[in-house]
A and B are shown apart, each in its own frame.
Chain A
């Protein structure tokens, strides 16, 4: 068993300091090399260079992790540990995340490319807040007592599944980890979690904090590896009772298939989106512009709920487009650690290539590049904020999820038409409506086929408000009390007190 230390000296305008923490395959509270002894390069997206190498997890490592999780679940977690105790550990973890707030934000910016400012303003508070929120739920997992007849006592228990597999993406690495750990641990499950191979650093840092918080070894196991090996191993594992996946719809299908083919494990999915952002004539213009910018350019467009189809009513179209364009052009692209940078590089070469391919397809299919459409800079994966206009509904850039700083702006005339266009997608993650007429806003919100409807805002998330997709954007809800349902299995207990047969 060897452990490696990742050490990095930050000397940036935003963050200065040395970080040092163990990395490896984290199973049973200990770090080790991967089953095959191979490693994965962690790449700095600002320059394409290797930051460090970390151990690559294998199928055998997943077997080891599941064994450890099962043992922990039966001996030192699960139903042996009262909720108040689970809550206390989660609170302690949140406290530790607070103590290492800046460090975690810096690691996230280094690994993912998002700006340090955004990591501190959004990722970290929501991550810590989510863990703290679920700490409060841990001793409040109630079943019901249900009246049937005089000679029976019937009640339900909301029991944990046991060992749950969790597969998270690279766009909000720490935040996605928190959304998964919070409800799963609060309800008493043991976890085998696969971070994205593109962004493993904050997940690995969390492993040490999980130990320090006092979670019994084996409660949380973290195995970094590739989707087609480690991810598949989780989805197919006969001893994992539930899998939760966040990522693309394409891979989500594979997860669900694998679950169906093996042990019919419970599946929740949080997938992609092509969320409509609808701006009516009577919208408050400045607000609509600012929110729409946030809707598509926040996190470099790498958000599942990005408002990537911006529908603007004809009466306000010209004014909106002008202001929206000016705002987009004012966004500062730069080093993630410079305090005035708004947008860093895309997360990887692969993503960069995908997005540029979409942009090319837009050009080829006859859409107009209003601004952007090109690479920014000479090294790293920056892409200019890009706006397409004059699109047709069947274009790839209008139908498919781009996951980059690329928005399409579409003019519309009447309500019925925009509603039809907004819902004309196999996705259904989110939607936003901008109007001063709150009656229209609410009516629209109710008719949009999406799991989150924002009225006069966009991309707003809270630990206690549920989030998830309609249609092919997902199955189940994260956040809020609702997420607890993803991690509990209901047992109905019938106690016969006198019925003879």
Chain B
């Protein structure tokens, strides 16, 4: 099969050259033992964009061996923080240079609007790389006094080693940046398995990794099915750490595999069913804007989606009406259409899943406030769907839908809101709207989630930590905290004066 395919850019005469091989040791190569390929689709047209090489278990071995070699020779402790900083900054510059092309490719494969991919996904990703480039030469240990006379203890924050990173399809470039940046800043090497649904931008970014000047093997890219590549990385005896973002169900498998193999370190960023609470003192119009953003951004395909909305009974009817109006204003359409604020869901599989939930919601007796009807035209489109009159036992209230489907409930007291919000095995995020400062503090303290948004939703920053409580995850991404996921602390006890008496 061809090593590079040309993918046509809609509404233009240009095309994007995408390498289709596995990226190992800074080269695109075929599989060592398999002819399997992965078909990559355009969710707006339902057509095939191209086929790429699918990595086999043996390919994963090759990739891991390459990353191990790099870690031992040209990376890890063999490269200074200043040099790592320089390379990561260079990579950021190159991504910025190619932002338009990458945005177009992202839109073709994932469906999100080009302008959103360019200005938000890629803009934030460039910022993320630059943020961690700044940390690379600032990863300090401590010197700890023992007795001030004969000994000193120092800690060395060492890179963990070879890291398997498994990323999802909802923000392909941005999830790539969140993983790659802190790992490289600390000095780890990476075997990256992008989602088999959206592998194209990861392959294109691999070209930039080489162009930036990273030594071969520092970052290898091995698109493959989760059951092949993901499993192989999780079970691999020579992978020191696996970082996974995806569903809670898969997260369990990864943690099991890590435990069964070599007890590799595990960090997980999993699903959510995040509650969004609107108290009566809230600015209704603003809260409705943020609530719409919370469930419709990225067409609801966001682990932090505010998918359960609880509105205080005194403003419930009014708020619901305003919110339905907001939902209808968002244009969901083709990513290359300037008017589109959202795109299709990413695949046939997701399309079927989301519609199954919508049908389940109707069957369970929830009231459809807006949406809930399939389009007749091509493309995996799901329009904004709001269910009201929900009960806690409904599937649409308990399970993560990962689409633009919102369940709206009512509460009377603050304590009731908190109880409803926390009644979930997830704990990724939560939002609340209130102009009562004490209430904001009380409620944010009580909510069991890793990120609490007060009078806003969805907005993350590269320098603020992010991650889940309960079954939404283990560990934190972003901020200084992400570095800890890739650091292994070595304590050195230096005796320069104590003489040991023997026998005891």
**A136 engages B442 (CB within 8 Å):** no
Residues on A with beta carbons closer than 8 Å to the beta carbon of B81: 464
Whether A162 is near chain B, meaning CB under 8 Å from some CB there, is no
Cα distance, A153 to B438, chains bound together (Å): 10
Considering the complex, give the chain A residue whose CB is closest to the CB of B185: A136
**B442 engages A497 (CB within 8 Å):** yes
Whether A91 is near chain B, meaning CB under 8 Å from some CB there, is yes
Residues on B with beta carbons closer than 8 Å to the beta carbon of A481: 138, 140
Residues on B with beta carbons closer than 8 Å to the beta carbon of A137: 134, 138
**B441 engages A497 (CB within 8 Å):** yes
Given A84-B130, A497-B442, CB of A142 within 8 Å of CB of B496: no
Q: Which of B137, B148, B152, B462 contacts A464 (CB 8 A)?
A: B137
Whether A129 is near chain B, meaning CB under 8 Å from some CB there, is yes
Whether B371 is near chain A, meaning CB under 8 Å from some CB there, is no
Contact with A along B473-504 (1 / 0, CB 8 A): 00000001000000000000010110000000
User: In whole Å, how far is A164's beta carbon from the nearest beta carbon of chain B?
Assistant: 22
Cα distance, A144 to B135, chains bound together (Å): 19
Looking at A153, A438, A497, which has the most chain B CB atoms within 10 Å of its CB? A497
Residues on B with beta carbons closer than 8 Å to the beta carbon of A188: none
**B134 engages A136 (CB within 8 Å):** yes
Contact with A along B424-458 (1 / 0, CB 8 A): 00000000000001100110000000000000000
Interface size class of B (residues with CB under 8 A): 20 to 34
Cα distance, A142 to B481, chains bound together (Å): 12
**Which chain A residues (443-483) contact chain B, with CB distance < 8 Å?**
443, 446, 463-464, 481
**A497 engages B437 (CB within 8 Å):** yes
Residues on B with beta carbons closer than 8 Å to the beta carbon of A139: 131, 134, 462-463
User: In whole Å, how far is A477's beta carbon from the nearest beta carbon of chain B?
Assistant: 14
Interface size class of A (residues with CB under 8 A): 20 to 34
**Which chain A residues (418-445) contact chain B, with CB distance < 8 Å?**
438-439, 442-443
Given A91-B89, A136-B85, A136-B137, CB of A443 within 8 Å of CB of B480: no
**B463 engages A443 (CB within 8 Å):** no
Contact with B along A68-100 (1 / 0, CB 8 A): 000000000000000110011001000000000
Whether A495 is near chain B, meaning CB under 8 Å from some CB there, is yes
Given A84-B130, A442-B152, CB of A142 within 8 Å of CB of B480: yes
Whether B215 is near chain A, meaning CB under 8 Å from some CB there, is no
**B89 engages A140 (CB within 8 Å):** no
Whether B82 is near chain A, meaning CB under 8 Å from some CB there, is yes
Q: Which of B140, B438, B497 contacts A443 (CB 8 A)?
A: B497
User: In whole Å, how far is B5's beta carbon from the nearest beta carbon of chain A?
Assistant: 36
Whether B226 is near chain A, meaning CB under 8 Å from some CB there, is no
Whether B284 is near chain A, meaning CB under 8 Å from some CB there, is no
Considering the complex, give the chain B residue whose CB is closest to the CB of A91: B89
Whether A498 is near chain B, meaning CB under 8 Å from some CB there, is yes
Considering the complex, give the chain B residue whose CB is closest to the CB of A186: B134
Whether A133 is near chain B, meaning CB under 8 Å from some CB there, is yes
Residues on A with beta carbons closer than 8 Å to the beta carbon of B85: 132, 136
Q: Which of B463, B494, B496 contacts A140 (CB 8 A)?
A: B463
Whether B133 is near chain A, meaning CB under 8 Å from some CB there, is yes
User: In whole Å, how far is A460's beta carbon from the nearest beta carbon of chain B?
Assistant: 15
Contact with B along A478-501 (1 / 0, CB 8 A): 000100000000000001011000
Residues on B with beta carbons closer than 8 Å to the beta carbon of A136: 85, 133-138
Residues on A with beta carbons closer than 8 Å to the beta carbon of B138: 133, 136-137, 140, 464, 481
Given A495-B441, A497-B442, A498-B438, CB of A87 within 8 Å of CB of B494: no
**B496 engages A442 (CB within 8 Å):** yes
Whether A135 is near chain B, meaning CB under 8 Å from some CB there, is yes
Cα distance, A463 to B140, chains bound together (Å): 13
Cα distance, A133 to B137, chains bound together (Å): 8
Considering the complex, give the chain A residue whose CB is closest to the CB of B127: A84
Given A129-B82, A464-B138, A498-B438, CB of A443 within 8 Å of CB of B496: yes
User: In whole Å, how far is A131's beta carbon from the nearest beta carbon of chain B?
Assistant: 13
Cα distance, A129 to B85, chains bound together (Å): 11
Q: Which of B130, B148, B441 contacts A153 (CB 8 A)?
A: B441
**A495 engages B437 (CB within 8 Å):** yes
Number of A-B contacts (CB under 8 A): 62
Cα distance, A138 to B462, chains bound together (Å): 13
Residues on B with beta carbons closer than 8 Å to the beta carbon of A153: 441
**B441 engages A87 (CB within 8 Å):** no
Residues on A with beta carbons closer than 8 Å to the beta carbon of B437: 495, 497
Q: Which of B127, B131, B494 contacts A442 (CB 8 A)?
A: B494
Contact with B along A123-147 (1 / 0, CB 8 A): 0000001001101111110100000
Cα distance, A497 to B444, chains bound together (Å): 13
Cα distance, A153 to B137, chains bound together (Å): 33
Residues on A with beta carbons closer than 8 Å to the beta carbon of B127: 84
Residues on B with beta carbons closer than 8 Å to the beta carbon of A443: 496-497
User: In whole Å, how far is A49's beta carbon from the nearest beta carbon of chain B?
Assistant: 40
**A140 engages B152 (CB within 8 Å):** no
**B496 engages A87 (CB within 8 Å):** no
**Which chain A residues (165-213) contact chain B, with CB distance < 8 Å?**
none
User: In whole Å, how far is A27's beta carbon from the nearest beta carbon of chain B?
Assistant: 30
Residues on B with beta carbons closer than 8 Å to the beta carbon of A133: 137-138
Considering the complex, give the chain A residue whose CB is closest to the CB of B439: A497
Q: Which of A91, A135, A497 contacts B438 (CB 8 A)?
A: A497
Residues on B with beta carbons closer than 8 Å to the beta carbon of A438: 496
Looking at A83, A133, A136, A142, which has the most chain B CB atoms within 10 Å of its CB? A136
Considering the complex, give the chain B residue whose CB is closest to the CB of A443: B496
Q: Which of A87, A140, A463 contacts B480 (CB 8 A)?
A: A140
Cα distance, A288 to B356, chains bound together (Å): 78
Residues on A with beta carbons closer than 8 Å to the beta carbon of B496: 438-439, 442-443
Cα distance, A7 to B463, chains bound together (Å): 45
User: In whole Å, how far is A203's beta carbon from the nearest beta carbon of chain B?
Assistant: 25
User: In whole Å, how far is A443's beta carbon from the nearest beta carbon of chain B?
Assistant: 6
User: In whole Å, how far is B125's beta carbon from the nearest beta carbon of chain A?
Assistant: 13
User: In whole Å, how far is A478's beta carbon from the nearest beta carbon of chain B?
Assistant: 16
Cα distance, A135 to B152, chains bound together (Å): 32
Contact with A along B291-328 (1 / 0, CB 8 A): 00000000000000000000000000000000000000
Cα distance, A469 to B370, chains bound together (Å): 70
Contact with B along A211-248 (1 / 0, CB 8 A): 00000000000000000000000000000000000000
User: In whole Å, how far is B378's beta carbon from the nearest beta carbon of chain A?
Assistant: 41
Residues on B with beta carbons closer than 8 Å to the beta carbon of A497: 437-438, 441-442
Residues on B with beta carbons closer than 8 Å to the beta carbon of A463: 137
**B135 engages A140 (CB within 8 Å):** yes
User: In whole Å, how far is B373's beta carbon from the nearest beta carbon of chain A?
Assistant: 43
Given A137-B138, A464-B138, A495-B437, CB of A84 within 8 Å of CB of B89: no
Looking at B134, B135, B152, B442, which has the most chain A CB atoms within 10 Å of its CB? B134
Residues on B with beta carbons closer than 8 Å to the beta carbon of A84: 127, 130-131, 462-463
User: In whole Å, how far is A365's beta carbon from the nearest beta carbon of chain B?
Assistant: 39
Cα distance, A446 to B151, chains bound together (Å): 11
User: In whole Å, how far is B95's beta carbon from the nearest beta carbon of chain A?
Assistant: 15
Residues on A with beta carbons closer than 8 Å to the beta carbon of B148: 446
Residues on A with beta carbons closer than 8 Å to the beta carbon of B140: 464, 481
24 contacts between A and B (CB under 8 A): A84-B130, A87-B130, A91-B130, A129-B82, A132-B82, A135-B134, A136-B133, A136-B134, A136-B136, A137-B134, A137-B138, A138-B134, A139-B131, A139-B463, A140-B138, A153-B441, A442-B494, A446-B152, A464-B81, A464-B138, A481-B138, A481-B140, A495-B441, A497-B441
Q: Top 6 nearest A-B pairs by Cβ distance?
A: A136-B134, A439-B496, A497-B441, A497-B438, A442-B496, A139-B463
Residues of B within 8 A of A (CB): 81-82, 85, 89, 127, 130-131, 133-138, 140, 148, 152, 437-438, 441-442, 462-463, 480, 494, 496-497
Residues of A within 8 A of B (CB): 83-84, 87-88, 91, 129, 132-133, 135-140, 142, 153, 438-439, 442-443, 446, 463-464, 481, 495, 497-498
Q: A83-B463, A84-B130 are in contact. List 17 more A-B contacts (CB 8 A).
A: A87-B134, A132-B85, A135-B134, A136-B85, A136-B135, A138-B134, A139-B131, A139-B134, A142-B480, A443-B497, A446-B152, A463-B137, A464-B138, A464-B140, A481-B138, A497-B442, A498-B438
